[in-house]
Structure 1
Amino acid sequence: MRFLFAVLGVMSLLAGAIPAGAEPRRIDTPLGPALIESVAEGFRVPWSLGFLPDGQMLVTERAGRLWRLAPDGSRRQVTGLPNVVARGQGGLLDIAVARDFARSGTVFLSFAKRQRGGQGTALAVARLDGTRLRDLRVIFEMTPGSSGGRHFGGRIVEAPDGTVFLTIGDRGDRPSAQDLARHNGSVIRVTRDGRIPSNNPFVGQAGARPEIWSYGHRNPQGAALAPDGRLWVNEHGARGGDEVNLIRRGANYGWPVISYGRHYSGAKIGEGTAKPGMEQPAFYWDPSIAPSGMVVHSGKGWPAARGHHFVGSLKFDHIAVLTPGAKRQTGRIKGRETGRVRDLREGPDGALWIVSEGNGTIYRLRPR
């Protein structure tokens, strides 16, 4: 009973997370009318958010700042972060609050880390103590480093078994996404202390990086678990060919050998749109929408949304809504609140939380 009251208290805090004077606005969605409201504003290139059990949130800014955000919109800066290289598309990226946070205080961070030859995507774990990260450890970093400033990927997903997935882009080096000796263009899987799970697909394969779970990705910037526990990832194509992929153990998703897009020059990419041994996307966009954060909705508090994919667009300032299984696009959510949607999260009460990089504001969307 005490646990139930605690959960209800958190939900009521989140439900009331509206700055004084702000009024929810009605907005139409493909799943019916909804209400959208501003929760907090004034962030500089926000990248991600995560929910804490007490109703507060953690928000990352790409320049290397982490904020603890209260339900009333007030915030305090968190210290103790790793050394972040904020260059190009790199910087402080994703935040993931561990499932057992109430007991362990564990959070995961992805960021661009300085390496020999440049920088690369890294994963750190730490214990949040008020507004300070303690015992921070880098438990994974991609190898080798690269001097390019793009395609870091960086989304973190904690699986039900406690292992951690991290998406990594090709870093602008296209052929590397097909090279199992490199982490570029992959989804990796490690334990929460950085060990390699024995059932990873390339463990023991000569020349392969054992952390790799899937490969052949271009720049996966959205990742989420579906209600059935399966992992979905969205990734940027070039000129067209943005994809939503159901991630399978050991699978090759084809970049840059196959693609539904073209190079920015207009030239053909690779060998076409299909090749034996390479996965087809569950859904693709042409023209590109530049997809980022993604939610596969549980249906909690919003039964009509169950199984639907919500995908943020950095290019066209909307949220794409895909039917369950991502077979087609149901429609989109667009308004003044959806400028450059960098991240989307499903809140504890089922509301959709929106991180708008376009105006540095966090919004909450719920069915009317």
Structure 2
Amino acid sequence: MTKLSKTSIAIFPICLALASCAPPKSGDSASAADSADNPDTAIQITEMGSFDRPWAIEFAPGTGVLFVTEKEGSMKFIDTASGRMGTVSGVPEVDYGGQGGFGDVAFLESEASAVLENRTIYLSWVEAGEGDTRGAVVGRGMLTCGEADACAIEGLEVVWRQAPKVTGRGHYSHRITFSPDESHMFIASGDRQKLDPAQDNRNTLGTIVRLDLDGSPAAGNPFASEGGVTAEIWSTGHRNILGLDWDMQGNLWDVEHGPAGGDELNLVMRGANYGWPRRSYGNHYNGDPIADHSADDGFMKPAVHWTPVIAPGDMLFYTGDMFADWQGDALIAGLSSQALVRVTIDGEAAQEAERIDFDERIRSVAQGPDGTIWVAEDGPEGRVLRLSR
């Protein structure tokens, strides 16, 4: 385990308005032994600013601009070349509370450009319903950044709603990813702590849905002929998916919270059922057992499962050159584990390889255009940190 100490973190002051910044200084944050034995692989960490409960971080393709959603309903960005921070207007009204609020942000790689003008932006958030109900939604709008410290979203409209809206404030999931060819959008839809709906295809709770980019059900979905929300479903039997990404071979994976034990990394397959709540490698929080997977249970098995849990917050597959020995590996942001968990992938098999240990809960992870790795801490003063070599 590599330990990243708070005392070795260099601070990159965030600039407001028209103030200028000096280049950041990086501190060596690997252990002394790691640095002495492997000076070329020592991890450096740089603090890039702090945010109010950051939930998602994502670079606009073709730029060094990192966008950050804050759970209570605001959105900011960092121009990572200068350190300048700005705000984004036109964001949605969110239903904040519990695990809910502002969620994910996603862009289309095909729109990569050095200019942030008229670029499609996708967002997820929690929307209130009638009778103390709520649910996740995904919206699409156009992003324009006409000033150094201000961007605006115009024409934001909801293109997908989790169905049905239910009571409670947990397990929204609402991570967004696009297929490598950008023909489809995949959205993680958590079970909302209601359990049994994850095995009922008449709703989208506890599923991953596959949509066209306008939010309509995609042709070729496994239950397309049944119509309604069932036609949106790609896979079922999920609990609370907090990471969703594609490996270098074009396969979709998810990472999700188990109950008391049994966090899972899954290879996501068309029409597959992952067993929740009938099968899990964990138990209910009150101690009641859940049957473990068995070879003949008819459900897809996780590639890796964790007890004690890592409490995943996000996931990506690393494709850069800066951490060349990690290329193709899954990097999982760990909440209770306070770590960046590295998992190696071999076809359909996976194995934990390493944990990069932090002093705080890690909510989200992103890859910079230069191969740096960025993480956001969880909580009211969550820092965004840059990892480099």
User: What TM-score, normalized to structure 2?
Assistant: 0.84
Amino acid in structure 2 at the alignment position of 1:140: W
1:184-223 equivalence runs, <5 A: 184-205=205-226, 209-223=230-244
Summarize the Cα distance change of 1:151–1:27 in structure 2 as closer, same or farther, 3 Å threshold: same
Deviations 1:279-338 (A, max 9, x none): 0000000011211111111143322011211111110211111122462211200134xx
Amino acid in structure 2 at the alignment position of 1:45: R
Aligned-partner Cα distance in 2 for 1:291–1:54: 27
Aligned residue number for residue 345 of structure 2: 324
Aligned-partner Cα distance in 1 for 2:358–2:196: 38
Aligned-partner Cα distance in 2 for 1:181–1:95: 27
Aligned residue number for residue 44 of structure 1: 52
Say if 1:307 and 1:324, in contact at 8 Å, map to a contact too: yes
Residue aligned with 1:323, SS = strand
Deviations 1:160-187 (A, max 9, x none): 2321111011001000111100110111
Amino acid in structure 2 at the alignment position of 1:127: M
Aligned residue number for residue 357 of structure 2: 334
Aligned residue number for residue 141 of structure 1: 161
Aligned residue number for residue 292 of structure 1: 313
Note the aligned Cα RMSD (angstroms). 2.0
Aligned residue number for residue 171 of structure 2: 151
Give the alignment partner of residue 24 of structure 1, picking from 19, 23, 26. Answer: 26
Aligned residue number for residue 121 of structure 2: 107
The number of residues matched between the two structures is 347
Aligned-partner Cα distance in 1 for 2:262–2:302: 9
Say if 2:244 and 2:315, in contact at 8 Å, map to a contact too: yes
Summarize the Cα distance change of 1:102–1:23 in structure 2 as closer, same or farther, 3 Å threshold: closer
**Are residue 256 (structure 1) and residue 264 (structure 2) matched?**
no
Say if 1:202 and 1:208, in contact at 8 Å, map to a contact too: no
Residue aligned with 2:313, SS = strand
Aligned residue number for residue 176 of structure 1: 197
Aligned-partner Cα distance in 2 for 1:206–1:58: 36
Amino acid in structure 2 at the alignment position of 1:68: F
Aligned residue number for residue 116 of structure 1: 130
Give the unaligned 5+ runs of structure 2: 1-10, 14-21, 146-150
After TM superposition, the runs of 4+ consecutive aligned structure 1 residues lying more than 6 A away are none
Please, which moves more after superposition, 96-105 or 115-124?
96-105
Residue aligned with 2:172, SS = coil
Say if 1:321 and 1:332, in contact at 8 Å, map to a contact too: yes
Say if 2:94 and 2:127, in contact at 8 Å, map to a contact too: yes
Give the unaligned 5+ runs of structure 1: 1-16
Summarize the Cα distance change of 1:207–1:268 in structure 2 as closer, same or farther, 3 Å threshold: farther
Say if 1:90 and 1:150, in contact at 8 Å, map to a contact too: yes
User: What TM-score, normalized to structure 1?
Assistant: 0.89
Say if 1:36 and 1:365, in contact at 8 Å, map to a contact too: yes
Identity %: 34
Amino acid in structure 2 at the alignment position of 1:25: G
Residue aligned with 2:29, SS = strand
Aligned residue number for residue 248 of structure 2: 227
Say if 2:237 and 2:276, in contact at 8 Å, map to a contact too: yes
Aligned residue number for residue 87 of structure 1: 97
Aligned-partner Cα distance in 2 for 1:197–1:143: 17
